[in-house]
Amino acid sequence: MKVNQDFRPESGEWRCATCGTPLEPGQVELRYLGNSFTVGVLVCGRCGHALITEDMACGKMLEVEQLLEDK
C-alpha cells in the first residue's frame, strides 16, 4: 500500500490526537455521493482515526468531489 510520505513531520512521528498512539500507514474507505474509494493514509491502529492532510483534502479529494458532482 502506498502512502504519501511527504507530509511526515521533520522530526518525531505523527500521533493520534484522540489516544496518542503513533500513526501507521493504512487504508481507509472514503465515501461521497454514493461512491466509495480506498486510499492509503496514516491511520491510528488503536482507534482507527485517519490523518487527512490539507493537501489531500484541498487537492485530490476536491478534484474527485467536483468530478462526481458534474456527473
* 24-57: pLDDT as tens digits: 999 999 888 888 888 889 999 999 999 988 888 7
pTM of the model: 0.67
Q: What residues pair up with 23 in beta bridges, in sequence order?
A: 44
Q: Is 14 exposed, middle or buried (0-12, 13-18, 19+ CB in 10 A)?
A: middle
CATH code: domain of residue 50: 3.10.20
Closest CA to 32 of 62, 52, 2, 1: 62
Q: Which residues contact 54 (CB under 8 A, 6 or more apart)?
A: none
Q: Which residue has the cell 485517519?
A: 50
Q: How many domains does the chain have?
A: 1
14 has a pLDDT exceeding 70: yes
Range of the domain at 26: 5-70
Q: What angle do CA 48, 17, 29 make, to 5 degrees?
A: 30
